[in-house]
Amino acid sequence: MPLGRRKQLILQAIIEDYIKTAEPVGSRTVSKKYLTNVSPATIRNEMADLEEMGYIEQPHTSAGRVPSDKGYRLYVDELMDKRTVNKQEHEFIRKEFMEVVGEIDMLIKHASRILSAMTNYASIAMAPQFKRTSLKHLQLIKVDSYNILAVIVTDAGIIKNSIFRTETDIEDGVLEKINKILNHKLVGLSIEELVNMDISQLEVGAGPIGEYEQVFSKVLPELLQALRYSERVEIFSDGAANLLDLPEYNDVQKAKNFLNVLNESELLYDILNDVSNNISITIGKENKIHQLKDCSLITATYSYNGKIIGSIGVLGPTRMKYSKVISIVDCLTKNLSDILTKIVKS
């Protein structure tokens, strides 16, 4: 049953007023501020219908109405005005990204900070997923007689290091050769392929490898181990304190719940990892994590060279400024993708 036009307007009014004020919205308010040519009584009737349909709820008999998750969902999908970032916001994002230097993880961390600063909600971000990138350069370095450092460079400028021991003192020249061979064989493969690779397949390869087989059989497993270990991805979050300003978190217990989630990298990883669409919006109980049943989450992916390598998002109350947040998240991830792609190309 498609909602009548007036019902839509009333629902929209209720949601937008509630987003602003966090107070239940009464018929009088709607009539005065939003639908000035309709009387409160009429609106009351409509509201009763909307409640019956499950779009709004009443905290108690003598209070106004509050949007339900279903209401927010309709709002986001159909009712809301979809805005884009304004000039100042766009400029702000651009500027903030200008002054970033250093490792790529720091760039993501910074992006997270920007996001929480601009939205006044909490933000979470996942550093580029190593496994989604592909090998660009690999180098084994002899740090001292018994320690070898593997340096792995992939797409998007991600660099990983791993130190491991060997019992035998490998000659510089040999390592040099091994480096050449490995790079020749492996560069261009995705890390995911590498990790699942059958080592033996490589070992029985063509000519020159056999010569160093001993060293290989020592070094390769360690290298794969390092690769596997690096699959773990850093998770950042920022702006948790912002939420304490919101009336819904006046209850310290709720705030604590929330903070606990933000500290569980595993959980956040799960949240950020199952993002497939470009922008994903999760409202209240739609959330898999039950601790977040009063929260909404807006995430978006960022990519390198058109390939999705990570995601970043905003976590706030269901009473969220959806339109604003969506536009900001969208703009931010686009900028982020651009920068990532540029950094490496330029």
Partner DNA sequence: TGTTAGCACTCTAAATCATTGAGTGCTAAT
Partner DNA sequence: ATTAGCACTCAATGATTTAGAGTGCTAACA
Beta-carbon-side half-sphere exposure of residue 86 (alpha carbons within 13 Å): 4
Among 11, 16, 24, 335, binds DNA (CB under 7 A): 24
Count the site residues for DNA by CB under 7 A.
Answer: 27
- Closest contact distance (angstroms) between CB of 253 and a copy of itself is 8
Nearer to DNA, 64 or 310 (CB): 64
Q: CA triplet 306, 312, 317: central angle to 5 degrees?
A: 145
Query: Residue 37 interacts with DNA (CB under 7 A)?
Result: yes
The three-state (H, E, C) secondary structure of 290-308, written as one string: HHHCCEEEEEEEEEECCEE
Q: CA triplet 4, 43, 66: central angle to 5 degrees?
A: 90
Nearer to a copy of itself, 84 or 260 (CB): 260
Site for a copy of itself in 147-166 (CB under 8 A): 149, 151, 153, 157, 159, 161, 163, 165
Site for a copy of itself in 165-224 (CB under 8 A): 165
Contacted by 61, from DNA, a copy of itself, none: CB < 5 to 8 Å by type: DNA
Among 12, 29, 112, 335, binds DNA (CB under 7 A): 29
* Contact between 155 and 133 (Cβ < 8 Å): yes
- Alpha-carbon gap, residue 290 to 261, rounded angstroms: 10
Two tokens, residue 8: 């839509």
Report which of 63, 122, 70 is spatially closest to residue 249, judged by C-alpha positions.
Answer: 122
Nearer to DNA, 24 or 71 (CB): 24
Query: Residue 26 interacts with DNA (CB under 7 A)?
Result: yes
- Closest contact distance (angstroms) between CB of 10 and DNA is 10
Residues sharing a CB contact under 8 Å with residue 264, sequence separation 6 or more, in sequence order:
none
Query: Residue 336 interacts with DNA (CB under 7 A)?
Result: no
**H or E element in which residue 198 lies:** none
Q: State the Rg of the chain over Cα.
A: 26
- Alpha-carbon gap, residue 315 to 332, rounded angstroms: 15
- Closest contact distance (angstroms) between CB of 1 and DNA is 15
Contacted by 144, from a copy of itself, DNA, none: CB < 5 to 8 Å by type: a copy of itself
Query: Residue 252 interacts with a copy of itself (CB under 8 A)?
Result: yes
Contacted by 249, from a copy of itself, DNA, none: CB < 5 to 8 Å by type: a copy of itself
- Closest contact distance (angstroms) between CB of 258 and a copy of itself is 9
Among 141, 174, 289, 308, binds a copy of itself (CB under 8 A): 141
Query: Residue 244 interacts with a copy of itself (CB under 8 A)?
Result: yes
Contacted by 250, from DNA, a copy of itself, none: CB < 5 to 8 Å by type: a copy of itself
Beta-carbon-side half-sphere exposure of residue 223 (alpha carbons within 13 Å): 26
Nearer to DNA, 3 or 104 (CB): 3
Query: Residue 65 interacts with DNA (CB under 7 A)?
Result: yes
Among 18, 236, 249, 302, binds a copy of itself (CB under 8 A): 249
Residue 237, beta-bridge partner list: 124
Residues sharing a CB contact under 8 Å with residue 315, sequence separation 6 or more, in sequence order:
121, 122, 123, 124, 262, 292, 295, 296, 297
Among 33, 54, 63, 189, binds DNA (CB under 7 A): 63
| Measured CA distances, 214 to 166, 187, 200 (Å) | 12, 22, 13
Q: Which residues contact DNA by CB under 7 A?
A: 6, 23-29, 37-42, 44-45, 47-48, 51, 58-65
